[in-house]
Structure 1
Amino acid sequence: MRARSVEVVLVKGGRTKIRYAAGVVADDGTRLTVRAPWSAEGVRDFGFVRFEPGDVFTEHYWRDRWYAVKEVRSADGTLKGWYCDVTRPAEVGADEVVVEDLDLDLWVSADGSRVLRLDEDEFAASGLAERDPEAAARAVAALDELELLAREGRFSW
């Protein structure tokens, strides 16, 4: 029996930022877990981590949480860490999962020693706080929750 696959669609500012195929690992009705190879072309070096061809992402999307957590491993299986996107709750359909990126991100290194809040300037410039104050407050709360989980060493999905 062939594993179910879905298309992951990341939307930002009302436009599709990226779309890629992923294999479903698990779906308990609240959290959908998928696995996919690094889908962008070439290497993306953030300074604190490099995403490159061969990397494998195990991605967790919740229907009731304002974030997605992506475990990143190199081609040889070595854990690089977790990249977390603050998003609206995932919309999961039969063959796709759509998430709206709200600009805030968190990086947690494999050993938990580095926890970095990212893109807070982009979030402030997005105007979400003015357009949708409730969503903005939920986004900031989600980032705070992720950071707390990481700092307490509870980052094992």
Structure 2
Amino acid sequence: MSANSAEPAARVEVVLVKGGRTKIRYAAELLRDDGVHVLVRAPWAGEGVRDFGFVRFEPGDVFFEHYWRDRWYSVKEVRAGDGTVKGWYCDIARPAALSGGRLVVEDLDLDLWRSADGADVRRLDEDEFAESGLAEADPRAAAAAVAALDQLEALAREGGFEDLLA
């Protein structure tokens, strides 16, 4: 999951943009960047506990976040403070951009969750996506977003993301 290195990891600021505004920004360790795939490690950046009903994100959780410069999604492996995998939270987003120590990602409202055991795979926020107006404003981006969600759901149901994240 994480890159093994004798040198300390570089720091980056992850900036999640939604609807043209910064939704959240947080510090992360840059573990790997091969020019296409970027892997960062970050502690839970929210305040307190966020209980979705199917998973709780809370202080002590660690996210191994995979971003691509050529794909319309990011995949975040969520681990509890003791290292136990909770699952994978996937954001449908425009391809990531890393420059000047900032990793910028534009969230397109669609999300996918896969539990650690694979028993729970669920599409999230399809209503927000429909209400966003992206299909009318940028049909190409909307089609890419829906295709990315379909691709991730198929992977999640067929056994997970291990090959994708290798």
Q: Fold-level match, TM-score > 0.5?
A: yes
Question: Does residue 44 in structure 1 map to residue 44 in structure 2?
Answer: no
**Alpha-carbon distance in 1 for matches of 2:106, 2:148:** 14
Give unpaired runs (5+ residues) of structure 2: 1-6
Name the amino acid aligned to 2:123: R
Residue 94 of structure 1, CA deviation: 3.4
Alignment of 1:5-154 (within 5 A): 5-154=11-160
Secondary structure at 1:111's aligned position in 2?
A: coil
Normalised TM-score (structure 1): 0.98
Q: Deviations over 1:101-139 (max 9, x none)?
A: 000000000011110000000000000000000000000
Runs of 4+ with >2 A deviation: none
Note the aligned Cα RMSD (angstroms): 0.7
Residue 3 of structure 1, CA deviation: 1.7
**Alpha-carbon distance in 2 for matches of 1:104, 1:51:** 18
Name the amino acid aligned to 2:103: V
- The residue number in structure 1 matching 2:4 is none
Secondary structure at 2:81's aligned position in 1?
A: coil
Residue 93 of structure 1, CA deviation: 1.1
Paired residue total: 157
Name the amino acid aligned to 1:154: G
Name the amino acid aligned to 2:60: G
Residue 25 of structure 1, CA deviation: 1.0
Give unpaired runs (5+ residues) of structure 1: none
